[in-house]
Amino acid sequence: MKIVVVDGYTLNPGDLSWEPLKELGEVTIYDRTAPDETVARCIDADMVLTNKVIFNAEVINALPKLKYIGVLATGYNVVDTMAATEHNVIVTNIPAYSTESVAQMVFAQILNITNRVGHYACENSKGRWTNNTDFCYWDTQLTELAGKKIGIVGLGNTGSATARIANAFGMDVCAFTSKPQESIPNYITKLILDELFSQCDIVSLHCPLTETTKELVNEARLATMKPTAILINTGRGPLINEQAVADALNCGKIAAFGADVLSVEPAQPGNPLLGAKNCYLTPHIAWATYEARIRLMNICIDNVKAFINGTPQNVVN
């Protein structure tokens, strides 16, 4: 079985092992693959593993030996699943491997915004505390989370994990979800979307990207939020209108924005969020803890084994 990993560096920059995969077949690993290299590198492959390299209908049509595409992520929009199905190619993904890590990033963003640890650490490295007249100082508002209302848009795996953490902080947890009230924890109150955005001190996005959720956060919705509100996005970049959020930050219509995702990645020089006030961006790393990547690698190996054994798992097409 010939297996090609087209962009292995993101998952494994050198701190994990590909050896369990190599035990399953003849494996070729590329750190990165450009679009015009994909077909040539995969032409003899029975199986390919991809994170962000695109396998559209044109690519799939050009790979007659291909039987399996393993996506090294939960989202699988990099594969044309309809074309794969037409060519009898199984497509799998890696579900729920980073749930706790993403929820942790949500609160890393929230705590950075409310306590500004990075800001004060930077100031102190420059000698500000050493030269301070008083035993302490602060030049930003410091905010206690207990008693604040957090609204979670989407109660899937990461939304539910974020809700648990928020509850532990003593926050009033609300959610917009299709789940009935009796099926969710009793510390979560269901709200309609407009109520959630207008009432909550913090709004965190955890819904999938669909035609109905694209630019869910737009100028009109931002106008309903409190001027003290914090918006967090660890879901998908296009859930927000980036220009509208940048304008809201710069005009003081909302207090802060923390995000781990953008509509185009890596960030483009003209992205309005890069220069916006009180905007805190991390480079799509919420999923990338060592522990989460180990889980991803293990599930990837299990998916490959299952396919070889004729019992494919985590199939998305």
Q: What is the CA radius of gyration of the chain?
A: 22
Residue in 236, 242, 291, 293 annotated catalytic: 236
Q: Is 293 a catalytic residue?
A: no
Q: Is 41 a catalytic residue?
A: no
Burial class (CB in 10 A: 0-12, 13-18, 19+), 139: exposed
Distance CA 310, CA 82 (A): 21
Residue in 41, 87, 164, 284 annotated catalytic: 284
**Does residue 188 contact residue 174 with C-beta atoms inside 8 Å?**
yes
Distance CA 183, CA 199 (A): 23
Q: Tokens in use for 125?
A: 């490295």
Residue in 23, 37, 58, 265 annotated catalytic: 265
Instruction: Provide the β-strand partners of residue 68.
Output: 47, 90
From 169, 171, 219, select the one nearest 197 (Cα to Cα).
219
Q: Is 206 a catalytic residue?
A: no
Distance CA 138, CA 115 (A): 10
- Tell me the longest C-alpha to C-alpha distance in the chain: 73
Q: Which residues are catalytically annotated?
A: 236, 265, 284
